[in-house]
Amino acid sequence: MSPNPDEHPQVRPLARLARLLADDTRAAFCLALLDGRAWTAGELARHAGVAPSTASEHLSRLVAGGVLAEERQGRHRYVRLAGPRIAQLIEDLSADAPPPSPAGLRAVSAARAMTHARTCYDHLAGRLGVAIADALTARGLLVHAPGFAFTDAGRDWLTGLVGVLPAARRPLARPCLDWTERRHHLAGTAGAALCRHSLERGWVRPIGGGRALKITPVGVAALRELLGVELTDPGGG
């Protein structure tokens, strides 16, 4: 006699989570929130092309299901992904779902920018993120064992670059499967620190207020000097 699947304590929670994500509008919200920012319900409604009332209903379900966390400031309701583990889940699922071929010059340009460099929640992704992980590994600063781990030399390098990192419940280094490159980039506390440092130093800048990033000339020079990474803007900038 086969066991009753409902006897496993995680069956129903997993099924609820799957139902939450199995909707185009809710999936669009989650993907947009991978930029790590808090969005208002109105912003997400416009992004997904749905009515505010429809967005509010979907957001309430995602908050109740633990996928999103909300904050209220006056009349405004802000939502963000509930945390790094949810962000990892969304990115991992995206990696297993090949994106459709973009139609039109504008869509092709946007897809090219996202593939080249972007944020993944709070760390760097795309060719840029993978290139950094590869360079850290090639220089003996990062090892795969089987996940990511910084060597002693790598920890010294990281501290010298971004300063002492505060204690956190997150791992220092974690591989995150890149949905465009199908290889791993660096996540975790170190990945977040490198992303923040890159933005603060002007090595990269957001394009159009979304997740796509442009590598600036200053960033090109810094990445070359620090890690030997040769990666310029796809448009040549």
When pLDDT is averaged across residues 23-47 and rounded to a whole number, the result is 90
Angle in degrees, 0-180, between the axes of helices 24-32 and 41-48, rounded to the nearest 10: 120
Position with higher pLDDT, 52 vs 37: 52
Per-residue pLDDT tens over the stretch 61-95:
999 999 999 988 877 789 999 988 898 888 888 77
Which among 212, 210, 219, 232 has a CA at the least distance from the CA of 46? 210
Per-residue pLDDT tens over the stretch 193-235:
999 999 999 999 998 777 899 999 999 999 999 999 988 766 5
Per-residue pLDDT tens over the stretch 127-141:
999 999 999 999 999
Is 5-82 a domain of CATH 1.10.10.10?
Answer: yes
Q: What pLDDT shows up at residue 106?
A: 63
pTM: 0.73
Would you list the domain boundaries of the chain? 5-82, 102-227
